[in-house]
Amino acid sequence: RSKRHGGNTMHVYSSSSESRNPGRLPMETALRRALKREELLIYYQPQVCLPTGRICGVEALLRWRHPEKGVKSAARYIPLAEETGLILPISEWVLHEACSQFGVWSREGISVGRMAINLSARQFRQKSLTGQLGRILHDCDLAPDALELELTESMLVDDVETAMETMSALKGMGIHLSLDDFGTGYSSLSYLKRFPIDTLKIDKSFVRELSTDSRSFAVADGIITLGHRLELGVLAEGVETAEQLSRLYDSGCDMVQGYLFCRPLPAEQLTTLLREPPTDFLLHRSQSSKTE
């Protein structure tokens, strides 16, 4: 469980924490520079509706164009960014960048449904979050309904009442909320029924073992039933094989996302794909680059 940080204050290193993890300071310096030198970029991965096969959303995924290592997933750096507070300027940049991209697509007549953005724990606790979102939506001329924020269970359980207030405020603005990596966190079903969320995202660990492990299938199938009984949409992430897709389809899953359809792509590459949408995206196998 992540440890708490006070308000929005920046965490200051103590020499003891640096000596515990000697690689950290250079990494922090590099991350700071990445933000300043505009080495951050976003890849976008389509979310596909079942049974239509239409793209109903796009998830923004942070990447770092490392001067030596090339384009890397930012996942490894997010915990450090959380700890140092760097996640706040990074997250603000992500929100702005992804919302502007949505605007670009809209103006080109390309409909991607909704832009899904991962929220960080610190960002979620920031008092100024709703104000910031309101400004960004306004600047990018985006309807709140076009934005989906992905939360994780761990962000919600530490202080349920405050989390409920924040979620209600976001919902009140008209923003959609989803619960990412569902099934892997500290989920309490008694909270789940109270959370004002729209969508459950089944974690890819269950999807990966869907065809080989009957228990993983039971969990995925159960999440779909549970979600529907709570009148939530259910999306499965990490769908890589036709067999996984067919099982999810049979279980009534509403949306899918994964390499089977499309890898996360830079905006320009995805634009090409979106301009000539395959008549049935479900039949489409992405031949796009293996980069991520």
Applying CB under 6 A, the residues found at the interface with ligand C2E are 45, 60-62, 73-75, 78, 91, 94, 118, 120, 150, 180-181, 204, 237-240, 258-259, 264, 292
- Residue 92 binding: pick among Mg ion, ligand C2E, none (C-beta 5-8 Å cut-off by kind): none
Residue linked to tokens 């009140």:
172
Residue 18 or 243 with smaller CB distance to ligand C2E: 243
- Residue 209 binding: pick among ligand C2E, Mg ion, none (C-beta 5-8 Å cut-off by kind): none
- Residue 210 binding: pick among ligand C2E, Mg ion, none (C-beta 5-8 Å cut-off by kind): none
Residue 74 or 177 with smaller CB distance to ligand C2E: 74
- Residue 240 binding: pick among ligand C2E, Mg ion, none (C-beta 5-8 Å cut-off by kind): ligand C2E
Residue 94 or 253 with smaller CB distance to ligand C2E: 94
d(CA 181, CA 102): 24
Query: Is 181 a binder of Mg ion (CB under 5 A)?
Result: yes
Least spacing, CB of residue 19 vs ligand C2E, in Å: 28
Query: Is 82 a binder of Mg ion (CB under 5 A)?
Result: no
Residue 19 or 184 with smaller CB distance to ligand C2E: 184
Residue 180 or 254 with smaller CB distance to Mg ion: 180
Residue 28 or 181 with smaller CB distance to Mg ion: 181
Residue 57 or 264 with smaller CB distance to ligand C2E: 264
Please name which of 148, 141, 28, 146 lies closest in space to residue 81, comparing C-alpha atoms: 28
User: How many Å from the N-terminal Cα to the C-terminal Cα in the chain?
Assistant: 28
Binding to Mg ion, residues 115-154 (CB under 5 A)? 118, 150
Query: Is 180 a binder of Mg ion (CB under 5 A)?
Result: yes
Which residues, in sequence order, are bridge partners of residue 204?
A: none
> How many chain residues bind Mg ion (CB under 5 A)?
4
- Considering only 31-39, 85-93, 112-120, 264-272, which stretch makes contact with Mg ion by CB under 5 A? 112-120
Please name which of 116, 34, 120, 22 lies closest in space to residue 79, comparing C-alpha atoms: 120
- Residue 202 binding: pick among ligand C2E, Mg ion, none (C-beta 5-8 Å cut-off by kind): none
Q: Which residues bind Mg ion (CB under 5 A)?
A: 118, 150, 180-181
